[in-house]
């Protein structure tokens, strides 16, 4: 399988500490476009979409626009990048979501015929009319799924183990693509594991925000960004426990698995540089 790394929505700039040895960069929406042999194109997360460009206050809301400062560049949305690779929108037959936050779901409307795969707990909370979590109305935007996509949901009833993590196989997709439950940021948050023919890639969604949090040898902090991470969590012990598990995964299996999150700009820059070479 060939894996393309896409930035489907730049947002506000973040400034790393000096000890990180990095330069300031804009937050990204790191999505994957996977070319499979028999299942068509598979998109992992959907970033922002055409409706977010045209009607941002309606689909994203003022709170998110002020908080995230999205650039909303039409050339960054997934459907334009898919077309830029020579494909049509309907070639994307599957979308695998880490969770239902609005910066991961805006592109759903641009692929109306795709099957959308996600954890059952995420689907149930996301579709609920009300929620006890105060961030729900800000983060889950029904306009992104008003076209009534075909949902495929999963729980722990159908799965196996992946490097010690629970792993869910996805209907109609090859076993090289798996859903890895990592709740904490949201109730049904998952990572997505993809084998690119060389090693495993673990798209960890929002399980962590930047790689300084999970580096087993060189940890560093971005206090402002991590404060947002705390604001948006639904279960702190689970979230922090996942940080520890991901550090162990990198320490013990770093030669077999590459781990990155959805919004960390610096790993995305490295993947983009590899592709352009």
pLDDT means per 10 residues in the chain (277 residues)? 95 94 96 94 98 95 94 97 97 98 97 97 83 70 94 80 94 96 95 95 98 94 92 93 97 97 97 68
Buried b (16+ CB within 10 A) or exposed e, 95-123: bbbbbbbbbbbbbbbbbeebbbbbbbbbb
Helix boundaries (H) for 90-235:
102-105, 120-127, 136-139, 223-232
Please choose, from the candidates 204, 186, 209, 182, the residue with its C-alpha nearest in 3D space to the C-alpha of residue 250: 204
Contacts of 85 by beta carbon, 8 Å cutoff, 6+ apart: 4, 33
State the Cα–Cα distance between residues 226 and 216, nearest whole angstrom: 18
The residue written with tokens 């689909």 in the block is 59
Q: Is the pTM of this model over 0.85?
A: yes
How confident is the model at residue 135, as a pLDDT?
66
Torsion of CA 95, 97, 102, 104, to 10 degrees: -70
How confident is the model at residue 131, as a pLDDT?
53
């Amino acid at each position: 399988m060939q894996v393309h790394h896409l930035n489907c929505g730049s947002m506000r700039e973040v400034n790393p500490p000096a000890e990180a040895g990095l330069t300031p960069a804009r937050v990204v929406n790191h999505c994957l476009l996977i070319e499979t042999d028999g299942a068509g194109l598979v998109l992992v997360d959907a970033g922002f979409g055409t409706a977010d460009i045209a009607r941002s206050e309606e689909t994203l809301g003022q709170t998110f626009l002020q908080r995230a400062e999205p650039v909303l560049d039409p050339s960054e949305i997934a459907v334009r990048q898919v077309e830029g690779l020579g494909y049509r929108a309907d070639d994307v037959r599957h979308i695998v979501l880490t969770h239902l936050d609005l910066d991961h779901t805006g592109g759903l409307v641009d692929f109306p015929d795709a099957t959308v795969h996600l954890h059952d707990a995420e689907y149930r909370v996301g579709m609920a009319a009300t929620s006890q979590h105060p961030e729900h109305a800000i983060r889950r935007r029904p306009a992104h799924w008003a076209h009534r996509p075909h949902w495929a949901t999963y729980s722990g009833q159908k799965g196996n183990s992946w490097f010690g993590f629970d792993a869910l196989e996805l209907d109609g997709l090859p076993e090289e693509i798996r859903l890895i439950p990592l709740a904490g940021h949201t109730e049904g948050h998952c990572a997505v594991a993809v084998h690119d023919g060389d090693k495993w890639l673990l798209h960890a969604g929002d399980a962590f925000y930047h790689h300084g949090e999970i580096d087993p040898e060189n940890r560093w902090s971005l206090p402002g960004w991590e404060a947002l991470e705390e604001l948006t969590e639904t279960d702190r012990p689970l979230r922090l426990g996942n940080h520890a598990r991901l550090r162990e995964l990198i320490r013990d299996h770093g030669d077999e698995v590459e781990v990155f999150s959805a919004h960390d700009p610096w790993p995305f820059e490295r993947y983009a540089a590899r592709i352009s070479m």
